Amino acid sequence: MREVSPILSTIIAARAEGLAEDAIERRVWERHGTTCAVLALDSSGMTRFSRMHGIVHFLTRYMQMRDLAEAILHRHGCLAWRCFADNLFSEFPDADAALGAARDIHRALQGSGLMVADDEPYRVCIGIGYGRVLGDGAGGKMGDEMNVVAKLAEDVAEAGETLLSEAAYRNLSARAAVAAEKIGLCLSKVDVTCYRLSDCACVTPESTRAAR
């Protein structure tokens, strides 16, 4: 039998009770809603390097990155984290904690000497959001901020770069101390504002987006 997620279980039960759509939505948010910072990390160059050296070659480096990142996530108060394909998703109490983790991951990768090729270091692209999301057990978090940060990490951020959603940027306790460029984007036909950090990594981000 196919396993049903916690959110879908709530929806199925509510529909069986004959609840109206607005009542179902209220119940889902009451039972599964939470407010937190969300961090999405995408490995740079998976498609390119898997084709050049094979998927196992890339996955062995990905596992090393994951081990390195895990200690950093916990050090910054990570609430939960999970991996999918070449991505990593995690939640934090606030944007400050998520940003601290992002900075340390970039720096740790630079200092680790981890390489995906003889002349190419292992680098990641990170997106950070903050707001109300739904927790779906092992399925992770769902919601608008989760959608935005997944797009920022996967499709927008360059290797070695971190982007913050507008909500995450506003949640920072000391925005004036964070060097960031405000940019407007259209993601999946939705206009969004985000902030590109210029002080988040020890290396200058490289434009590798087209090579993915």
SS (H, E, C) 72-114: HHHHCCCCEEEEECCEEEEEECCHHHHHHHHHHHHHHHHHHCC
CB contact at 8 A, 123 and 83? no
Q: Report the helix count and the strand count for the chain, using DSSP H and E.
A: 7, 10
Tell me, what DSSP letter sits at residue 55?
H
pLDDT at position 49 is: 65
Residue-by-residue DSSP string for 119-131:
TEE--EEEEEEEE
Q: For the chain, which domains are there?
A: 34-211 (3.30.70.1230)
Q: What is the pLDDT along the chain (212 residues), one digit of tens a residue?
A: 567 789 999 999 999 999 999 999 999 999 999 999 999 999 876 667 666 666 787 788 888 999 999 999 999 999 999 988 778 999 999 999 999 999 999 999 999 888 877 778 889 999 999 999 998 887 788 999 999 999 999 889 999 999 999 999 999 988 767 888 899 988 888 898 999 987 654 444 454 444 45
